[in-house]
Structure 1
Amino acid sequence: MNTTTGREYGALRDSGGVHVWQGTTDGPPPVAGLQLLSAAERAVMRRRPRADGLRYAGAHIAVRRVLSRYLGVAPAGIRFGTEPCPWCADPDHGRPVVVGPPTALDFNLSHAGPHWVLAVTTAGQVGVDVEDGRSGSPAGAASLVMSESELTHLNSLVDDGARQAAFLRCWTRKEAVVKAIGTGITADLKALEVRPEQAGPLVVRGSEPAGADDWLVQDLPSGRGLFVALARPAGSTGPVVLRDPRSPERPVPLPGAHSILEPFRS
């Protein structure tokens, strides 16, 4: 591990915090970028509709480049795997993890359209979710994913924009938690109480028997109509630091709800 990367990993480990990277993918990735991906990643890209496949590739290229800063290996040298789902033990839809090189680093990726968000930490499991404000409809999905108290709050809102915001705040918070646990949307999202009427951060109790720990959940600033939520173990006290791949040496600690991270275009 070189000195620069050692400091990057060491600073994250010593702080007990989370680094949150955010960017966008525009257009086809360069050939050199595609060569960083594994055969499995390129196969996923080809199976998807062209636009989705290119965005998938761009996000995963960015993930490799970011994680290489911490791991001390070339982006193409990172090997990924999955942990078994803690709910059903199926290894095919568990949490993505780095299996090579060996590391205590944990990460989670989310993307919506051209936007991607990556959370990185050494302080336990982490989950992140981003929605672009155009996906998800309270009328179409609220009753399927929201608890009775959450629906009561949603139905108390008269303005359509406020209802959409409350729904997406619920959705991203729930998604961040189940991604941190590793069950994904196989979990009972209605059983997760994420209290959209509260600004947060807030503690959320996991709903699955294998993941019934408490999680600290907070909304993250992003701008551009995006909704972003982060979940990490309750009791976490390390800072959440915004990182921009265009200016990686200028981290921005998150003091409150007013920090904005401008997008990186891969």
Structure 2
Amino acid sequence: MTARPAAALPGVWGLTTAVPASAGAAVAVSGAGSPARPDDAALRERVRAALSAVWGEDPGPLGLARRCPACGSGEHGAPRLTGLPAGRRVLVSLSGVADDDGAPLRVAAWWTPGPAPAPPGSGLGLDLERIDAPALAAPDGLGGVGFSTAERTWLAGLAPADRPAARARLWTRKEALVKAAGTGFTGDPADVPALSPGPGDAVVDLGQELLRAAGLPPAVRGALALRVPTR
């Protein structure tokens, strides 16, 4: 699979450790201005700790808020950090996946630019999938409808035992790219180019060592995409 090198993802980025997904009552998140799930609060604190280590200073209380650009709802949409220190820019993205016992986990990815500020419209997208998920394990699942002709041809050239992991890689790239764009899928997923992302998009496959360090099981694959609009 062709992939842009990790160096194509500028700035500094990382993953938090996984937290159990919670469907419990909402709790107030400092600085967010609106309620958030308890696991949102846990992920926000992990991101804050990571930024503190990168910047060499405590960024202070942060919030994690959402706003859907289509309907204006604060219940869904791309997440964003609030309460950042003046002059700091951070992008975040969240993704969920099941552990080996079927319990849901959630992880946050974060990215902060280098000396040059990120232009307006920049976005970050994280996606995690299990290679043994029914939709990816069988060729008549997502592979039958979500991949382009070129992607299906590439998959067909692999050994059958390698195809579930490869399907997961392709699909996580697609999900990460549309999340970085801030749109989600607006048309046929096959039209999202997983093998060769377009101008302004960079995507990296997350290595197994990084995913294990985040507390995720061996069956998980992931991708992180960054969109920086080109002039």
TM-score, normalised with respect to structure 1: 0.57
Q: Which AA in structure 2 matches 1:109?
A: L
Is 1:183 aligned with 2:183? Answer: yes
Q: Which AA in structure 2 matches 1:172?
A: T
Identify which of 201, 204, 218 aligns with 1:218.
204
Report deviation, 1:152: 1.6
Q: How does 1:34-53 map to 2 (within 5 A)?
A: 36=29, 40-42=35-37
8 Å CA contact 2:66–2:77 kept in 1: the answer is: no
Q: Where does residue 129 of structure 2 map in the other structure?
A: 131
Report deviation, 1:21: 1.7
For structure 2, the 5+ residue unaligned runs are: 1-8, 52-57, 99-104, 213-217
Using the alignment, how far apart are the partners of 2:219 and 2:13 within structure 1?
Answer: 21
Using the alignment, how far apart are the partners of 1:145 and 1:229 within structure 2?
Answer: 17
My pick for the range that moved more, 20-29 or 150-159, is 20-29
8 Å CA contact 1:83–1:97 kept in 2: the answer is: no
8 Å CA contact 2:201–2:228 kept in 1: the answer is: yes
Q: Which has the higher helix share?
A: 1
Count of aligned pairs: 184
Report deviation, 1:150: 0.7
Q: Where does residue 204 of structure 1 map in the other structure?
A: 197
8 Å CA contact 1:117–1:129 kept in 2: the answer is: no
Identify which of 79, 84, 107 aligns with 1:96.
79
TM-score, normalised with respect to structure 2: 0.65
My pick for the range that moved more, 225-234 or 215-224, is 225-234
Q: Where does residue 63 of structure 1 map in the other structure?
A: 43
Is 1:143 aligned with 2:144? Answer: yes
Q: Where does residue 18 of structure 1 map in the other structure?
A: 12
Report deviation, 1:79: 4.7
Runs of 4+ in structure 1 deviating by more than 6 angstroms, as ranges, are: none
For structure 1, the 5+ residue unaligned runs are: 1-14, 43-56, 196-202, 206-212, 237-266
Q: Which AA in structure 2 matches 1:143?
A: G
Report deviation, 1:36: 4.7
Distance 1:61 1:132, change over 3 A: farther
Q: Where does residue 157 of structure 1 map in the other structure?
A: 158
